[in-house]
Chains A and B, each alone.
Chain A
Amino acid sequence: MSKYLKGWLMPGLSVLMMWGVAHGGWWMWAPWAFVLTVFLSADIFMPRDVSAPPRYQNAFLLNLPLYTILPLLTVLNFMVLWMFSSGDMLGFGAWVKDHVGVDLFAARERTTHWGMWAGCIFSVGLMNAVGGTVTGHELTHRTGKPFDLFMGRWMLAFTCDTSFAIEHVYGHHVRVATPADPATARRGESFYQFTVRSTIMSYVHAYQLEKARLAKLGKSVWNPFASPFLRGNIENLSLFVVAYFMAGWAGVGFWALLAFVGKQYLEITNYFEHYGLVRVPGEPVQPRHSWNSNHWGSTNVLYSLARHSHHHAQGEAPYWTLNAYPNAPMLPAGYLGMLLIALVPPLFKYLMTPALNDWDERHASAAERRIAQQDSRDSGMKGLKIAQAKLA
């Protein structure tokens, strides 16, 4: 049975998160600090998880934790909006006090400083990203299953990012590691440059993909019955409307900040997952076109997202079938470690330069080395050996 447990780490994390935030005050930082400590420790101190995927008989038990994320996120986000508002929307506070025994009114009273709300935004934004985006990512890959797509897209709405469901599957997976992909970071690009380009261009690209597709069918991208792009935007907006009704314009601003922070967690992940990697457009995507990580926490909590090399080589494979690929290009740290490192561009470049040198030397094909050489010369980065190398 224990092999089924790993899917439940994420729902467990959501419940812990709720419990922490429900205390209000400076406690709102606690979930963030907790996740950072536990996650980083698991990545640093646990042995690398290169285990082969076990054989499972019961796919339902593996899918169920994915589906639980949406109600959990809904409750968590409703709760923080409730705390941010005044009054007792839907009698939620009274109900929780009577039935769960947690006094949200007192927690609200305790939250008096803007720094406390910042903790709330960092904590809940992180949960919306690792819970909503990672799970939504897994589900929106299942393009043949309308229920999974529906659940996944709503999970993405918590970071105002429903267009990810289109761009990621039909754009990013096709164009990964080529200049045409907005979600592949270029050599020398800092996270801060990348996130602006990626956020805007991913959205534009989703619009273009959907518009081109519907044009073939003679339909408009503004037709909500035909266009998942428009429906997704309506879902994004509807959460802002909920925030408005709960807490007025301040609530809208609060929600915008929360969605923004959540989205940034995703963009950092996008940033390091393919940083500086190149591929000849049109050639098959191979394991070497993603940075892989077998750090224990990253791979087990994030639904094997860290087994990214396999994910990109075989996008339709569900999370429990992904392999570790110990010979794939490896990130120098786990996902949460990389997330913090990417915020400090000089440190990130310092760590990734040897990794890129190794990639150029051991993983790249001859044609990719030529592209990598040009990219490295254009990058302005020092220490990339291929920039000066004589290529055959």
Chain B
Amino acid sequence: MFDRFFRRSPPSFKLQINSPALSFTASANDSLLQTALNHGLAFPHNCRVGGCGECKCKLVSGQVKELTDKSYLLSADELRQNYILACQSLPRSDVCIEVALRAGVTQHPLVTTRARILSVAPLTHDVVHLRLAPQAPLRYSAGQYAAFAIPDEVAGASARGRSYSFASSPRDEAPSSELDFYIRKVPGGIFTEWLFAQAAPGQMLDLSGPYGDFGLRPGHGPIVCIAGGSGLAPIKAMLEQAIADKQAQRALTLLFGARSQRDLYALDAIDEIRRNWSGRFEFIPILSDEPADSAWPGRRGLIPTNLPAILGTHLADHQAYLCGPPPMIDACVDVLTHHGLARDQIFFDKFLDSSHAACTRQAESVLI
């Protein structure tokens, strides 16, 4: 009974948006907007401080605590219909709201299927390109990821699945007959050890997907994409998708962090993107462990330390998309926000340390 007094984390409720299919766990400390964004939903929003009304939605049931007086902003009609501002509402019970989600975002059905290995081709000394043919049709959006079940013959009782981002944009409107993944060898990792040593064309894997909501957001300003190692996969897919959708007019800076020259890969694919990108395109590889005496003419060091010089005074005007190891993402997010980039313009797909599971969420602002 003393739980209430000693509870360390705030209570959580259920947030349902439009239909039971979109139900999420919502912390009492996060605004409804923040919860929706954390779960990768394209919830309409702009100012996040209750000033613009972009995030208004209809409260169908449940109770919220409102942080600003919405009646300055909403019309008399909207007030009568119980509209609220999602960015200024904290849940105080299970909440059900209705909102017109951004057009063009498709919700793909979750599919679990077996897939046949078409090829396992080395890209560098520790990254392979895995091609799969799924047996059931699988639709996804560029930026999303799939979860692999480890084959029975190698899985221990406690082995967990692995998640990898789709490395190319969906081929066309039809469900993809072929899926690409870039997979880095994790020393001692059960799945990747098996993949690098024993996997062969024709073998079968179980996978499910798509998951996540990493992907290009609408906008007109410049884009900076930051990829670390095999984090290039969802970014490459996302940019190919933008070209296919004729959305490639925005200025783009693509940063690719690797240890040394031998760790760079998919340079042909990047060059293909460059040739098809209609806006300004800049590709900057940055090497962290390149021998000091090598002939490498490009940038060296870590991406975060190079960022301000590369993006210059317009840094804060960018939308940033990051994928890679957590320390790189954390350091880059720190640098970007320190130079004035709003946190809601930063999107990342972070590898989790232990399982390498991809986990997409938006940068949360950390208040105390």
Interface residues of A (CB under 8 A from B): 52, 55-57, 59, 143-144, 169-170, 173-174, 209, 212-217, 284-288, 309-310, 313-318, 320-321, 323-328, 362-363, 365
Which residues from B are CB-within-8-Å of A365?
317
Partner of A59, one of B50, B88, B368: B368
Tell me which of B65, B71, B334 has the highest count of chain A C-beta atoms within 10 A of its own C-beta. Answer: B71
Once bound together, how far apart are the Cα atoms of A297 and B365, in whole Å?
Answer: 27
Contact A325 B340 (CB under 8 A): yes
**Chain B residue contacts of A288, Cβ below 8 A:** 316
One of A170, A213, A326, A363 near B339 (C-beta < 8 A): A326
**Contact, CB under 8 Å: A362 / B313:** yes
Q: Determine whether the beta carbon of B338 is less than 8 Å from that of A52.
A: yes
Q: Judge whether B69 is part of the interface by a CB distance below 8 angstroms.
A: yes
The smallest C-beta distance from A383 to any residue of chain B, in angstroms, reads 22
Within 8 A of A (CB), among B43-82: 46-52, 65-69, 71-76, 79
Q: Contact: B337 with A213, CB < 8 Å?
A: no
Q: Is the CB of A286 within 8 A of B316?
A: yes
B317 touches A55 (CB 8 A): no
Output the least CB separation between A171 and chain B (Å): 9
CA distance A286 to B79 in the complex (A): 29
In the complex, which of the residues A57, A169, A362 has the most CB atoms of chain B within 10 Å of its own CB atom? A169
Q: Say yes or no: is B127 at the interface (Cβ < 8 Å to chain A).
A: no
Residue of B nearest to A310 (CB): B340
The 3 lowest CB-CB distance pairs between A and B, nearest first, are A144-B67, A216-B76, A287-B340
Residues on B with beta carbons closer than 8 Å to the beta carbon of A59: 368
Residues of chain B within 8 A (CB-CB) of A328 are: 316, 340
* CA–CA, A18 and B50, complex, Å: 39
State the CA gap A368–B66 with chains docked (Å).
Answer: 34
Please tell me if the beta carbons of B75 and A318 are within 8 angstroms of each other in the complex.
Answer: no
Q: Which chain B residues border A309 with CB–CB below 8 Å?
A: 340
B328 at the interface (CB under 8 A from A): no
B338 A323 Cβ-Cβ under 8 A: yes
Q: Is the interface of B mostly helix, strand, loop or mixed?
A: loop
7 contacts between A and B (CB under 8 A): A174-B51, A215-B76, A288-B316, A314-B365, A321-B368, A325-B340, A327-B308
Residues of A within 8 A of B66 (CB): 144
Q: State whether B72 touches A213 (Cβ < 8 A).
A: yes
Please measure, in the bound complex, the distance between the C-alpha atom of A174 and the C-alpha atom of B25, giving whole angstroms: 31
Query: In the complex, A362→B314 CA distance in Å?
Result: 8
CB nearest neighbor in A for B53: A174
Q: Are B46 and A284 closer than 8 Å at their CB atoms? A: yes
* Given contact pairs A55-B368, A143-B69, A287-B316, A323 touches B340 in the complex (Cβ within 8 A): yes
The reply to whether the CB of B342 lies closer than 8 angstroms to some CB of chain A is: yes
Contact A144 B65 (CB under 8 A): yes
Determine the distance from Cα of A144 to Cα of B313 in the docked complex, in whole angstroms: 35
How far in angstroms is the closest Cβ of chain A from B58?
Answer: 17
User: Considering the chains assembled together, what is the distance between the CA atoms of A326 and B337 in angstroms?
Assistant: 11
Q: Are B71 and A213 in contact (CB under 8 A)?
A: yes
- Inter-chain CA distance A355–B52, complex, in Å, is 29
Residues of A contacting B340 with CB < 8 Å?
286-287, 309-310, 313, 323, 325, 327-328
Residues of A contacting B79 in the complex (Cβ-Cβ under 8 angstroms): 216-217
Point out the residues of chain B lying under 8 angstroms from A318, CB to CB. Answer: 367
A174 to B337, CA, bound (A): 22
